[in-house]
Amino acid sequence: MDKKKLAGEQAATYIEEGMILGLGTGSTVYWTIQKLGELVKQGLKIKGIPTSKATEHLARELGIPILDISEVQEIDLTIDGADEVNPDFALIKGGGGALFREKMVASLSRRLLIVVDDSKVVSTLGKFPLPVEVVPFGWEITSRNIARLGCSPKLRLHTAGPFITDNGNYILDCYFTEIQHPELLNEQLTKIIGVVETGLFVNMAEMIIVGGNDGVSVKSTPMQSEAANE
């Protein structure tokens, strides 16, 4: 069976009546949203906050009620995908260019549940180029400043020129190879003028659902497991 589908569908079992839900972006959480669409048709009452225009479109097609982020103070649960996950649950996200809205939604969420297939689980982040959203004005300068942190940034391209995010910005895919200190790197990057947000999500994910050949495995943050053992 499709590993992404396994993980995505399993995540839907964490959805409860009355929740305000952050709806992630990508081909793994797609399966969660499909399941959610079925649950809503069966009468489940929830409200969704999409993390991209693509997800908003999908949710509307499936009849999932949508709220604007400005209408909520807090989100009960967000389910989203990732491009890489390390043992501390630090993530690289933004392969689909949705990282800014994803981070905004995650920051309002009481719980962030990540769905991936087992190819995304790594010991050290960085093989996947880190997506960084930047303002188009002077992006070449922003790119030079990012490169000083030890990577080679490449402007993400689309068929007819630069890829444009839902927020009207560009994405620089930054080839670091190994990111040993994700929190520090995130801080360094966000201090650079022109950087809107990075695809590094540190200390945000609470649970990871991994789809593999033998089914799904559910991992809780090391902090949470320690608390459970006390």
Ligand X SMILES: O=C[C@H](O)[C@H](O)[C@H](O)COP(=O)(O)O
The values of phi and psi at residue 22, to 5°, are -80, 130
Decide whether 30 or 139 has the Cβ nearer to ligand X.
Answer: 30
Distances in Å between the Cα of 158 and the Cα atoms of 91, 97, 165, 170 are: 24, 11, 11, 11
Site for ligand X (CB under 6 A): how many residues? 17
CB of 88 to ligand X, least distance (A): 18
**107 among the known binding-site residues?**
no
Closer residue to ligand X (CB): 33 or 46: 33
The verdict on 34 binding ligand X (CB under 6 A) reads: no
Kindly give, in sequence order, each residue whose CB lies less than 8 Å from that of residue 32, ignoring residues fewer than 6 positions away: 8, 9, 11, 12, 24, 79, 115
27 binds ligand X (CB under 6 A): yes
Q: Which of residues 183-212 bind ligand X (CB under 6 A)?
A: none
Contacts with ligand X, 66-105, as mask; x by CB under 6 A: --------------xxxx---------xxxxxxx--x---
Q: Are 134 and 196 in contact (CB under 8 A)?
A: yes
In angstroms, give the least distance from the CB of 116 to ligand X: 7
Nearest distance, CB of residue 102 and ligand X, angstroms = 5
The CB-of-59 to ligand X minimum distance in angstroms stands at 15
Sign of CA dihedral 176, 112, 97, 37: positive
Active-site residue, selected from the candidate residues 9, 102, 197, 206:
102
Q: In what order do the strands lie in the sheet with 195-198?
A: 152-155, 170-175, 130-134, 195-198
Instruction: Tell me if 35 is assigned to a ligand binding site.
Output: no
CB of 150 to ligand X, least distance (A): 23
Q: Is residue 94 a known part of a binding site?
A: yes
Exactly one of 28, 78, 109, 186 binds ligand X (CB under 6 A); that residue is 28
**Could you tell me the sign of the dihedral formed by the alpha carbons of 79, 49, 126, 5, in that order?**
positive
Q: Considering the complex, state which of residue 10 and residue 25 has its C-beta at the smaller distance from ligand X.
A: 25
Residue 102 annotated among the catalytic residues of the structure: yes
The residues of the shown chain that bind ligand X, judged by CB under 6 A, are 24-28, 80-83, 93-99, 102
Catalytic residue IDs = 102
In the annotated binding site for substrate, the residues are 25-28, 80-83, 93-96, 120
